[in-house]
Amino acid sequence: MAKRPVLQDFVVERDESRCVACQACVRMCSNDVHSYDPETNKVESDSAKCVGCHFCESFCPTKAINIKRSASQFRENANWQYRDIANLVKQAETGGVLLTGMGCDRPYPVYWDHILLNASQVTNPSIDPLREPMELRTYIGRRPDRIQWTVDSGQWTANKKQSSSIQHPASSIQSLLKLEIPIMFSAMSYGSISYNTCVSLARAAREIGTFWNTGEGGLHPDLYEFGKNTIVQVASGRFGVHKDYLETASAIEIKIGQGAKPGIGGHLPGEKVTGDISRTRMIPEGTDALSPAPHHDIYSIEDLKQLIFALKEATRYSKPVGVKIAAVHNVAPIASGVVRAGADYVAIDGLRGGTGAAPLTIRDNVGIPIELAIAAVDTRLREEGIRNQASLIAAGGFRNSADVIKAIALGADTVYIATSALVALGCNLCQKCYTGKCNWGIATQDPYLTKRLNPEIGTQRLVNLLRAWSLEIKEMLGGMGINAIESLRGNREHLRGVGLSDTELRILGIKAAGESW
């Protein structure tokens, strides 16, 4: 047989007694699953086309639709699972690299679920965050090696000038990013996500007092007004990088790698490079936006240092310049090198970090979990005595406020969230971002689909999410008897591991549950 029948992942179940043939599903599905037959006045569904985004299900006014996993199963085989066979069939038919979106979905251990938080009992009082002030404010950037004071005509004043190995007269502790909550929106480029999604992120960041990140797609001219809450990226493709872009932003991030695809570049297909995107990225309309895997001017830490200082020089040392790397095996020494190269912060993106498009095999098999990476990097930087020289940002698959607080206790200064933000905007993790047919209007440039994300609603949902998480973080902090997130940072004594091996506990730097001081 030349061709195997299409394997279907999902089944669209339609309750005919409830379906009123209003055709909302027909009009809304970007994958053309549903069709209306006027002769029978019935709506039919072609389950083979369904990607499982659940848009129609959440939209159906009579709740007549139910999307289920396909019940058709192969003979059970622990080695050859359904996805293995399905992927093989796809490759036998297409001869191509399998693409996917979002973060790694394989069942590697999620260490957050093996780490437990502490709480106060008897010997130290817990704090009620509803009655007492709680401090979540966080600063990102280089701290001075020591506090210096000068006495001038009887007045003690703090000497804010840097005194580190990489000293520049213009760099001072004043160029720190101020965050009201230790959560920022991670890099997602305009092109991979829609304009309305960018607007929602930018407005929410401004309202909450945190930052959003442009990714490597440049900054749309309409969004320059959000510059005070914007981190701009300089990535290997250098898309959209120009003087105003660097000057408008509050911080600049050099993107070396991404958790979903360490060692891999990016590729925005030409059909997505429409008018506004081509202008924002500064490339001709309709051309593929190819980000090379490496920066072609960075082949060593010394080269990285040159770029960091070129950017600092270009912006008159007025803002932090950070570096984003993927969590790979030697992440600790790499991060150490990055800090020594002069980065004001290091963002580390773990195995479960998301993407708009990545080869399936890379996404699922390359990198290490962020929990281990954060602990290893924080430990290494402390051992080397350079932890103060850079802030640490953890990224990659933060699902809730507990993950955030655990990351901070492991040593991160703040976290980047992106997948959770998209879920707040509607995303149901169907992992089809790379098709550009996102029904929720997030990962698409189709004008018919992008309208579906109203930035007023999107902003409110993101603000709600961040507010809810910050309230929960305050509750957990209060329970631990801590009234400032600063006191928890790197305070691994507040964490205990369950079901972890001695090696994992050693790397995480935490005690096993049940061990006390």
Q: Which residues bind other proteins (CB under 8 A)?
A: 17-18, 20-24, 27-28, 59, 61-62, 441, 446-448, 451-452, 454, 456-457
* Closer residue to other proteins, CB minimum distance, 232 or 449: 449
Query: Would you give the DSSP letter of residue 59?
Result: H
8 A C-beta contact, residue 183 and residue 212: no
Query: Would you give the DSSP letter of residue 236?
Result: T
Smallest gap from residue 357 Cβ to other proteins (A): 23
Q: Label residues 95-115 b or e (16+ Cβ within 10 Å = b).
A: eeebbbbbbbeeeeeebbebb
Smallest gap from residue 35 Cβ to other proteins (A): 16
Q: Which residues contact 264 (CB under 8 A, 6 or more apart)?
A: 258, 293, 358, 359, 362
* Closer residue to other proteins, CB minimum distance, 145 or 446: 446
Smallest gap from residue 449 Cβ to other proteins (A): 8
Smallest gap from residue 42 Cβ to other proteins (A): 12
* Closer residue to other proteins, CB minimum distance, 63 or 68: 63
* Closer residue to other proteins, CB minimum distance, 24 or 86: 24
* Closer residue to other proteins, CB minimum distance, 23 or 66: 23
8 A C-beta contact, residue 335 and residue 467: no
Q: Label residues 26-40 b or e (16+ Cβ within 10 Å = b).
A: bebbbbebbeeeeee
- The encoded tokens of residue 206 equal 């401004």
d(CA 352, CA 215): 18
Smallest gap from residue 222 Cβ to other proteins (A): 13
Smallest gap from residue 469 Cβ to other proteins (A): 24
* Closer residue to other proteins, CB minimum distance, 189 or 196: 196
Number of H helices, E strands in the chain: 16, 23
d(CA 204, CA 471): 16
Smallest gap from residue 200 Cβ to other proteins (A): 12
Alpha helices in 79-234 (DSSP H): 82-94, 195-208
d(CA 328, CA 291): 20
Smallest gap from residue 64 Cβ to other proteins (A): 9
Q: Which residues contact 292 (CB under 8 A, 6 or more apart)?
A: 236, 237, 265
- The encoded tokens of residue 37 equal 């037959």
* Closer residue to other proteins, CB minimum distance, 106 or 451: 451
Smallest gap from residue 110 Cβ to other proteins (A): 33
Smallest gap from residue 269 Cβ to other proteins (A): 20
- Tokens 């009082």 map to which residue? 125
* Closer residue to other proteins, CB minimum distance, 257 or 455: 455
Q: Which residues contact 61 (CB under 8 A, 6 or more apart)?
A: 20, 22, 24
* Closer residue to other proteins, CB minimum distance, 25 or 412: 25
Query: Would you give the DSSP letter of residue 323?
Result: E
d(CA 393, CA 416): 7
Smallest gap from residue 207 Cβ to other proteins (A): 17
Nearest-5° angle of CA 458, CA 460, CA 466?
A: 105
* Closer residue to other proteins, CB minimum distance, 64 or 241: 64
Q: Which residues contact 414 (CB under 8 A, 6 or more apart)?
A: 138, 140, 179, 182, 183, 184, 391, 393, 394, 408
Bridge pairing between strands 115-117 and 495-497: antiparallel
* Closer residue to other proteins, CB minimum distance, 130 or 457: 457
* Closer residue to other proteins, CB minimum distance, 22 or 328: 22
Smallest gap from residue 70 Cβ to other proteins (A): 27
3-state secondary structure at position 483: coil
Long-range pairs for 282-290 at CB < 8 Å and ≥24 separation? 282/218, 282/239, 282/240, 282/242, 283/239, 289/191, 289/217, 289/237, 289/239, 290/237, 290/265, 290/266
